[in-house]
Amino acid sequence: MQYEVGDIVKLKKPHPCGSHEWEILRVGADFRLKCLGCGHQIMVARTLVEKNVRGLRRPGEGSGTGNGAADGESGKQKN
Ligand SMILES: [Zn+2]
Protein backbone atom coordinates (compact mmCIF):
# COMPACT_ATOMS: atom_id res chain seq x y z
CA MET A 1 0.00 0.00 0.00
CA GLN A 2 1.12 3.49 -0.77
CA TYR A 3 1.18 6.02 2.04
CA GLU A 4 1.42 9.70 1.40
CA VAL A 5 1.77 12.79 3.49
CA GLY A 6 -1.67 14.01 4.43
CA ASP A 7 -3.30 10.60 4.51
CA ILE A 8 -5.25 9.58 7.57
CA VAL A 9 -4.50 6.12 8.91
CA LYS A 10 -6.58 4.23 11.40
CA LEU A 11 -4.55 2.07 13.78
CA LYS A 12 -5.59 -0.95 15.79
CA LYS A 13 -4.54 0.46 19.11
CA PRO A 14 -6.18 3.65 20.24
CA HIS A 15 -4.10 6.47 21.59
CA PRO A 16 -4.70 7.11 25.32
CA CYS A 17 -6.78 10.11 24.29
CA GLY A 18 -9.24 7.74 22.60
CA SER A 19 -8.54 8.45 18.95
CA HIS A 20 -7.62 5.74 16.46
CA GLU A 21 -6.80 8.10 13.66
CA TRP A 22 -3.45 9.61 12.78
CA GLU A 23 -2.39 12.02 10.10
CA ILE A 24 0.80 11.20 8.22
CA LEU A 25 3.23 14.10 8.42
CA ARG A 26 6.26 12.36 6.99
CA VAL A 27 6.97 9.10 5.22
CA GLY A 28 10.20 7.16 4.95
CA ALA A 29 11.81 4.37 6.93
CA ASP A 30 9.99 5.94 9.84
CA PHE A 31 6.66 7.69 9.68
CA ARG A 32 5.81 10.77 11.62
CA LEU A 33 2.22 10.60 12.75
CA LYS A 34 0.00 13.13 14.43
CA CYS A 35 -2.88 12.02 16.60
CA LEU A 36 -6.11 13.54 15.37
CA GLY A 37 -7.54 13.43 18.86
CA CYS A 38 -4.97 15.39 20.79
CA GLY A 39 -2.33 16.50 18.30
CA HIS A 40 0.44 14.41 19.84
CA GLN A 41 3.20 13.50 17.37
CA ILE A 42 5.14 10.26 17.26
CA MET A 43 7.72 8.54 15.08
CA VAL A 44 6.90 4.98 14.14
CA ALA A 45 8.81 2.49 12.01
CA ARG A 46 7.13 1.91 8.69
CA THR A 47 6.84 -1.81 9.35
CA LEU A 48 4.99 -1.13 12.58
CA VAL A 49 2.57 1.19 10.88
CA GLU A 50 1.89 -1.37 8.16
CA LYS A 51 1.29 -4.05 10.76
CA ASN A 52 -1.12 -2.00 12.81
CA VAL A 53 -3.04 -0.08 10.22
CA ARG A 54 -6.73 -0.81 9.94
CA GLY A 55 -7.70 1.66 7.29
CA LEU A 56 -6.56 4.53 5.21
CA ARG A 57 -8.42 7.51 3.93
CA ARG A 58 -7.31 10.32 1.76
CA PRO A 59 -9.17 13.50 2.55
CA GLY A 60 -8.09 15.20 -0.66
CA GLU A 61 -9.66 12.63 -2.95
CA GLY A 62 -13.25 12.27 -4.00
CA SER A 63 -13.81 15.82 -5.17
CA GLY A 64 -12.57 17.61 -8.19
CA THR A 65 -12.06 14.63 -10.45
CA GLY A 66 -14.34 13.36 -13.17
CA ASN A 67 -16.17 16.57 -13.70
CA GLY A 68 -17.77 17.72 -16.90
CA ALA A 69 -17.71 14.84 -19.38
CA ALA A 70 -21.46 14.74 -19.56
CA ASP A 71 -22.37 15.97 -22.99
CA GLY A 72 -22.52 12.78 -24.99
CA GLU A 73 -25.75 13.54 -26.76
CA SER A 74 -25.40 16.89 -28.33
CA GLY A 75 -27.34 17.61 -31.46
CA LYS A 76 -27.54 14.73 -33.87
CA GLN A 77 -28.79 16.12 -37.09
CA LYS A 78 -30.97 14.25 -39.53
CA ASN A 79 -30.93 15.01 -43.14
ZN1 LIG B 1 -4.11 11.33 21.10
Domain ranges of the chain: 8-57
Q: How many angstroms does the Cα of residue 60 sit away from the middle of ligand 1?
A: 22
> CA-based angle 64:67:73, to the nearest 5?
175
Q: How many angstroms does the Cα of residue 37 sit away from the middle of ligand 1?
A: 5
d(CA 34, CA 12): 15
Tens digit of pLDDT for each residue in 27-73? 999 999 999 999 999 999 999 999 999 999 987 766 544 444 444 55
Query: If you average pLDDT over residues 5-26, what whole number do you get?
Result: 96
Q: How many angstroms does the Cα of residue 75 sit away from the middle of ligand 1?
A: 58
User: What pLDDT does 69 receive?
Assistant: 44
Query: Is-contact 9 56, C-beta < 8 A?
Result: yes
Tell whether pTM > 0.85.
no
